[in-house]
Chain A
Protein backbone atom coordinates (compact mmCIF):
# COMPACT_ATOMS: atom_id res chain seq x y z
CA UNK A 1 0.00 0.00 0.00
CA UNK A 2 1.59 3.22 -1.16
CA UNK A 3 0.40 6.27 0.76
CA UNK A 4 0.87 9.77 -0.62
CA UNK A 5 0.40 12.33 2.13
CA UNK A 6 -0.64 15.93 1.67
CA UNK A 7 -1.01 18.65 4.27
CA UNK A 8 -3.75 20.18 2.18
CA UNK A 9 -5.42 19.32 -1.12
CA UNK A 10 -8.29 20.63 -3.19
CA UNK A 11 -9.70 17.13 -3.11
CA UNK A 12 -8.03 13.76 -2.83
CA UNK A 13 -10.37 12.43 -5.54
CA UNK A 14 -9.02 15.01 -7.96
CA UNK A 15 -5.43 14.16 -7.03
CA UNK A 16 -6.06 10.47 -7.61
CA UNK A 17 -7.82 11.03 -10.92
CA UNK A 18 -4.95 13.19 -12.16
CA UNK A 19 -2.31 10.58 -11.33
CA UNK A 20 -0.35 9.86 -14.51
CA UNK A 21 0.58 6.35 -13.58
CA UNK A 22 -2.33 5.07 -11.49
CA UNK A 23 -1.26 1.99 -9.60
CA UNK A 24 -3.95 0.03 -7.75
CA UNK A 25 -4.11 0.62 -4.02
CA UNK A 26 -2.20 3.88 -4.14
CA UNK A 27 -3.68 6.09 -1.42
CA UNK A 28 -3.95 9.88 -1.52
CA UNK A 29 -4.36 11.18 2.00
CA UNK A 30 -4.89 14.84 2.86
CA UNK A 31 -5.06 16.45 6.30
CA UNK A 32 -7.61 18.86 4.94
CA UNK A 33 -9.50 19.37 1.70
CA UNK A 34 -10.38 22.75 0.29
CA UNK A 35 -13.06 21.40 -2.03
CA UNK A 36 -13.95 18.00 -0.68
CA UNK A 37 -17.06 16.56 -2.29
CA UNK A 38 -19.45 13.65 -2.17
CA UNK A 39 -22.01 12.24 -4.55
CA UNK A 40 -23.64 14.66 -6.97
CA UNK A 41 -20.86 17.10 -6.13
CA UNK A 42 -22.29 17.95 -2.73
CA UNK A 43 -19.62 19.51 -0.54
CA UNK A 44 -17.91 17.42 2.13
CA UNK A 45 -16.77 19.67 4.97
CA UNK A 46 -13.09 18.74 5.31
CA UNK A 47 -11.28 20.74 7.99
CA UNK A 48 -8.07 19.64 9.68
CA UNK A 49 -8.77 16.82 12.09
CA UNK A 50 -10.72 14.61 9.72
CA UNK A 51 -9.52 11.63 7.72
CA UNK A 52 -9.82 12.17 3.97
CA UNK A 53 -8.36 9.76 1.48
CA UNK A 54 -8.84 8.32 -1.99
CA UNK A 55 -7.85 4.90 -3.22
CA UNK A 56 -7.03 3.90 -6.77
CA UNK A 57 -8.94 0.68 -7.22
CA UNK A 58 -7.79 -2.27 -9.31
CA UNK A 59 -9.56 -2.65 -12.65
CA UNK A 60 -12.78 -4.42 -11.89
CA UNK A 61 -16.15 -4.85 -13.52
CA UNK A 62 -18.77 -2.24 -12.69
CA UNK A 63 -20.97 -4.56 -10.63
CA UNK A 64 -18.04 -5.43 -8.38
CA UNK A 65 -17.24 -1.74 -7.96
CA UNK A 66 -20.80 -1.06 -6.90
CA UNK A 67 -20.68 -3.88 -4.38
CA UNK A 68 -17.34 -2.65 -3.08
CA UNK A 69 -18.77 0.85 -2.62
CA UNK A 70 -21.52 -0.47 -0.38
CA UNK A 71 -19.07 -2.74 1.42
CA UNK A 72 -16.80 0.25 2.12
CA UNK A 73 -19.55 1.68 4.31
CA UNK A 74 -19.80 -1.70 6.00
CA UNK A 75 -16.02 -1.93 6.56
CA UNK A 76 -15.96 1.59 8.03
CA UNK A 77 -18.98 0.91 10.25
CA UNK A 78 -17.42 -2.33 11.49
CA UNK A 79 -14.28 -0.50 12.63
CA UNK A 80 -16.39 2.16 14.36
CA UNK A 81 -18.31 -0.55 16.18
CA UNK A 82 -15.51 -2.97 17.05
CA UNK A 83 -12.67 -0.57 17.77
CA UNK A 84 -14.60 2.26 19.35
CA UNK A 85 -17.68 0.53 20.71
CA UNK A 86 -20.08 2.94 19.06
CA UNK A 87 -23.33 1.95 17.37
CA UNK A 88 -23.00 2.86 13.70
CA UNK A 89 -25.85 2.87 11.26
CA UNK A 90 -25.25 2.39 7.55
CA UNK A 91 -27.28 4.84 5.54
CA UNK A 92 -27.35 3.08 2.20
CA UNK A 93 -25.63 3.25 -0.10
CA UNK A 94 -22.65 5.16 1.14
CA UNK A 95 -22.90 6.99 4.40
CA UNK A 96 -22.28 5.95 7.98
CA UNK A 97 -24.12 7.58 10.83
CA UNK A 98 -23.57 7.54 14.58
CA UNK A 99 -26.20 8.79 17.01
CA UNK A 100 -28.35 10.03 14.17
CA UNK A 101 -25.55 12.12 12.65
CA UNK A 102 -23.33 11.60 9.65
CA UNK A 103 -19.80 10.50 10.46
CA UNK A 104 -18.49 9.04 7.19
CA UNK A 105 -19.19 9.21 3.47
CA UNK A 106 -17.98 7.15 0.57
CA UNK A 107 -17.80 8.10 -3.08
CA UNK A 108 -16.65 5.96 -5.98
CA UNK A 109 -15.89 7.65 -9.26
CA UNK A 110 -15.25 5.81 -12.51
CA UNK A 111 -13.71 7.28 -15.62
CA UNK A 112 -15.25 5.47 -18.58
CA UNK A 113 -14.21 5.62 -22.23
CA UNK A 114 -14.41 2.45 -24.27
CA UNK A 115 -14.00 0.60 -21.00
CA UNK A 116 -13.47 1.61 -17.38
CA UNK A 117 -10.20 3.51 -17.45
CA UNK A 118 -9.94 4.35 -13.78
CA UNK A 119 -11.85 3.82 -10.55
CA UNK A 120 -11.20 5.90 -7.49
CA UNK A 121 -12.88 5.49 -4.13
CA UNK A 122 -12.88 8.38 -1.71
CA UNK A 123 -13.61 8.06 1.98
CA UNK A 124 -14.22 10.91 4.34
CA UNK A 125 -14.38 10.01 8.01
CA UNK A 126 -14.81 12.59 10.73
CA UNK A 127 -12.20 11.33 13.13
CA UNK A 128 -10.78 14.19 15.16
CA UNK A 129 -12.92 17.07 13.94
CA UNK A 130 -13.62 19.00 17.12
CA UNK A 131 -16.61 21.01 16.10
CA UNK A 132 -18.90 21.66 13.21
CA UNK A 133 -20.44 24.84 11.97
CA UNK A 134 -23.91 25.88 13.08
CA UNK A 135 -25.39 24.46 9.88
CA UNK A 136 -23.71 21.08 10.27
CA UNK A 137 -23.82 20.64 14.03
CA UNK A 138 -27.22 18.96 13.99
CA UNK A 139 -26.38 16.58 11.15
CA UNK A 140 -22.68 15.73 11.52
CA UNK A 141 -20.51 14.23 14.21
CA UNK A 142 -16.99 12.88 14.69
CA UNK A 143 -15.33 10.07 16.59
CA UNK A 144 -13.67 12.60 18.86
CA UNK A 145 -16.99 14.26 19.69
CA UNK A 146 -18.60 10.88 20.39
CA UNK A 147 -15.66 9.38 22.31
CA UNK A 148 -14.31 12.53 23.89
CA UNK A 149 -10.80 11.47 22.93
CA UNK A 150 -8.57 11.53 19.86
CA UNK A 151 -8.17 8.57 17.52
CA UNK A 152 -5.27 7.43 15.33
CA UNK A 153 -6.01 8.39 11.72
CA UNK A 154 -3.28 6.29 10.12
CA UNK A 155 -4.31 3.15 11.95
CA UNK A 156 -7.92 3.61 10.86
CA UNK A 157 -6.92 4.35 7.27
CA UNK A 158 -4.84 1.17 7.02
CA UNK A 159 -7.56 -0.89 8.61
CA UNK A 160 -10.16 0.38 6.14
CA UNK A 161 -7.90 -0.23 3.13
CA UNK A 162 -6.99 -3.72 4.28
CA UNK A 163 -10.65 -4.45 4.89
CA UNK A 164 -11.48 -3.31 1.37
CA UNK A 165 -8.73 -5.45 -0.13
CA UNK A 166 -10.16 -8.47 1.63
CA UNK A 167 -13.70 -7.68 0.48
CA UNK A 168 -12.69 -7.15 -3.14
CA UNK A 169 -10.85 -10.43 -3.14
CA UNK A 170 -13.98 -12.15 -1.88
CA UNK A 171 -16.21 -10.42 -4.44
CA UNK A 172 -13.99 -11.19 -7.42
CA UNK A 173 -13.70 -14.82 -6.45
Chain B
Protein backbone atom coordinates (compact mmCIF):
# COMPACT_ATOMS: atom_id res chain seq x y z
CA UNK B 1 0.00 0.00 0.00
CA UNK B 2 1.44 3.35 -1.06
CA UNK B 3 0.39 6.71 0.25
CA UNK B 4 1.48 10.24 0.33
CA UNK B 5 1.57 12.11 3.60
CA UNK B 6 1.85 15.79 4.00
CA UNK B 7 3.25 16.93 7.31
CA UNK B 8 3.54 20.66 7.70
CA UNK B 9 4.78 21.58 4.26
CA UNK B 10 6.78 18.50 3.52
CA UNK B 11 5.50 15.60 1.53
CA UNK B 12 6.44 12.02 2.34
CA UNK B 13 5.96 8.96 0.25
CA UNK B 14 5.05 6.07 2.54
CA UNK B 15 4.82 2.46 1.52
CA UNK B 16 3.44 -0.15 3.90
CA UNK B 17 3.79 -3.83 3.16
CA UNK B 18 3.53 -7.04 5.11
CA UNK B 19 6.61 -9.20 5.20
CA UNK B 20 7.28 -12.51 6.84
CA UNK B 21 9.22 -10.89 9.63
CA UNK B 22 6.67 -8.20 10.29
CA UNK B 23 5.34 -5.00 8.82
CA UNK B 24 7.64 -2.97 6.61
CA UNK B 25 7.15 0.75 6.42
CA UNK B 26 9.14 2.60 3.80
CA UNK B 27 9.38 6.35 4.13
CA UNK B 28 11.22 7.89 1.22
CA UNK B 29 14.34 5.78 0.93
CA UNK B 30 14.35 4.67 4.55
CA UNK B 31 12.91 1.31 5.57
CA UNK B 32 11.55 0.38 8.96
CA UNK B 33 10.60 -3.13 9.88
CA UNK B 34 8.25 -3.64 12.78
CA UNK B 35 8.58 -7.15 14.06
CA UNK B 36 5.65 -8.41 16.02
CA UNK B 37 7.66 -8.98 19.21
CA UNK B 38 9.53 -5.70 18.97
CA UNK B 39 6.40 -3.76 18.41
CA UNK B 40 4.96 -5.18 21.62
CA UNK B 41 8.05 -4.26 23.59
CA UNK B 42 8.09 -0.74 22.33
CA UNK B 43 4.50 -0.22 23.26
CA UNK B 44 4.96 -1.56 26.78
CA UNK B 45 5.68 1.13 29.32
CA UNK B 46 7.74 0.31 32.41
CA UNK B 47 9.52 -2.29 30.38
CA UNK B 48 12.46 -2.91 32.69
CA UNK B 49 10.25 -3.23 35.73
CA UNK B 50 7.98 -5.81 34.15
CA UNK B 51 10.79 -7.74 32.59
CA UNK B 52 12.44 -8.21 35.95
CA UNK B 53 9.49 -9.90 37.54
CA UNK B 54 8.91 -12.07 34.51
CA UNK B 55 12.48 -13.22 34.22
CA UNK B 56 12.62 -14.68 37.73
CA UNK B 57 11.35 -18.19 37.88
CA UNK B 58 10.66 -20.27 40.90
CA UNK B 59 11.06 -23.99 40.93
CA UNK B 60 8.56 -25.38 43.39
CA UNK B 61 8.11 -28.78 44.98
CA UNK B 62 5.44 -30.56 42.91
CA UNK B 63 4.68 -32.81 45.90
CA UNK B 64 5.59 -32.90 49.57
CA UNK B 65 8.78 -34.79 50.31
CA UNK B 66 12.38 -34.71 51.44
CA UNK B 67 15.21 -33.06 49.52
CA UNK B 68 17.68 -35.90 48.99
CA UNK B 69 20.15 -34.19 46.73
CA UNK B 70 20.86 -30.75 45.33
CA UNK B 71 22.62 -30.91 41.98
CA UNK B 72 23.32 -27.18 41.54
CA UNK B 73 24.93 -24.29 43.35
CA UNK B 74 23.96 -20.64 43.49
CA UNK B 75 25.35 -18.87 40.45
CA UNK B 76 25.30 -21.97 38.24
CA UNK B 77 24.05 -21.54 34.72
CA UNK B 78 21.54 -24.27 33.95
CA UNK B 79 19.93 -25.51 30.80
CA UNK B 80 16.34 -26.51 30.24
CA UNK B 81 15.94 -30.14 31.31
CA UNK B 82 18.90 -30.09 33.69
CA UNK B 83 18.55 -31.89 37.02
CA UNK B 84 18.13 -29.41 39.88
CA UNK B 85 16.93 -31.30 42.92
CA UNK B 86 16.19 -34.86 43.91
CA UNK B 87 13.06 -35.08 45.99
CA UNK B 88 12.15 -38.31 47.75
CA UNK B 89 8.41 -38.39 47.95
CA UNK B 90 5.58 -40.86 47.95
CA UNK B 91 8.01 -43.80 48.03
CA UNK B 92 9.57 -42.59 44.79
CA UNK B 93 12.58 -40.58 43.73
CA UNK B 94 11.67 -37.45 41.83
CA UNK B 95 14.19 -35.58 39.76
CA UNK B 96 13.08 -31.99 39.58
CA UNK B 97 14.41 -30.51 36.35
CA UNK B 98 14.61 -26.94 35.14
CA UNK B 99 11.88 -25.90 32.80
CA UNK B 100 14.00 -23.24 31.14
CA UNK B 101 17.54 -21.99 30.68
CA UNK B 102 18.73 -19.66 33.40
CA UNK B 103 21.00 -18.94 36.30
CA UNK B 104 20.48 -20.25 39.82
CA UNK B 105 19.90 -17.14 41.86
CA UNK B 106 18.95 -18.69 45.16
CA UNK B 107 18.65 -22.12 46.67
CA UNK B 108 16.09 -22.04 49.46
CA UNK B 109 16.37 -25.60 50.74
CA UNK B 110 19.00 -27.83 52.28
CA UNK B 111 19.75 -31.51 51.90
CA UNK B 112 17.48 -33.70 54.03
CA UNK B 113 15.01 -30.84 54.44
CA UNK B 114 11.33 -31.74 54.37
CA UNK B 115 9.30 -29.57 52.01
CA UNK B 116 5.62 -28.99 51.46
CA UNK B 117 3.87 -29.16 48.13
CA UNK B 118 4.29 -25.83 46.35
CA UNK B 119 7.23 -24.74 48.49
CA UNK B 120 9.84 -22.80 46.54
CA UNK B 121 13.03 -24.81 46.16
CA UNK B 122 15.11 -22.67 43.86
CA UNK B 123 14.88 -19.24 42.27
CA UNK B 124 16.08 -19.06 38.71
CA UNK B 125 16.95 -15.89 36.88
A: which residues have CB within 8 A of B?
39-41, 62-63, 65-66, 69-70, 93-94, 107-114, 117
Q: Which 4 A-B pairs have the closest CB atoms?
A: A93-B91, A66-B90, A108-B92, A109-B93
Shortest beta-carbon distance, A168 to chain B, in Å?
A: 15
Closest to A39 in B: B93
Q: Which of A62, A69, A110 has the most CB of B within 10 A?
A: A110
B: which residues have CB within 8 A of A?
62-63, 68-69, 81, 88, 90-99
CB <8 Å contact, B94 and A112: yes
User: Which of the residues A94, A111, A112 comes within 8 Å of B91, measured between beta carbons?
Assistant: A94
Closest to A110 in B: B94
CB <8 Å contact, A114 and B93: no
Shortest beta-carbon distance, B111 to chain A, in Å?
A: 11
Contacts of A107 in B (CB 8 A): 92-93
Closest to B66 in A: A40
* Chain B at the A interface: SS class: strand
22 CB < 8 A contacts A-B = A39-B88, A39-B91, A39-B93, A41-B69, A62-B62, A62-B63, A62-B90, A62-B92, A66-B91, A69-B91, A107-B92, A108-B93, A109-B92, A109-B95, A110-B93, A110-B95, A111-B94, A111-B95, A111-B97, A112-B94, A113-B81, A117-B97
What's the Cα separation between A66 and B68 when bound, in Å?
A: 18
What's the Cα separation between A94 and B90 when bound, in Å?
A: 11
Q: Which of B63, B90, B97 has the most CB of A within 10 A?
A: B90
Contacts of A40 in B (CB 8 A): 68, 88, 93
What's the Cα separation between A111 and B62 when bound, in Å?
A: 11
CB <8 Å contact, B92 and A113: no
What's the Cα separation between A62 and B117 when bound, in Å?
A: 13
What's the Cα separation between A107 and B94 when bound, in Å?
A: 11
What's the Cα separation between A65 and B93 when bound, in Å?
A: 11
What's the Cα separation between A132 and B63 when bound, in Å?
A: 37
CB <8 Å contact, B95 and A69: no
CB <8 Å contact, B88 and A112: no
Shortest beta-carbon distance, B115 to chain A, in Å?
A: 13
What's the Cα separation between A144 and B108 when bound, in Å?
A: 48
Q: Which of A39, A65, A94, A113 has the most CB of B within 10 A?
A: A113
Contacts of A109 in B (CB 8 A): 92-95
CB <8 Å contact, B69 and A114: no
User: Which of the residues A70, A93, A108, A112 comes within 8 Å of B97, measured between beta carbons?
Assistant: A112
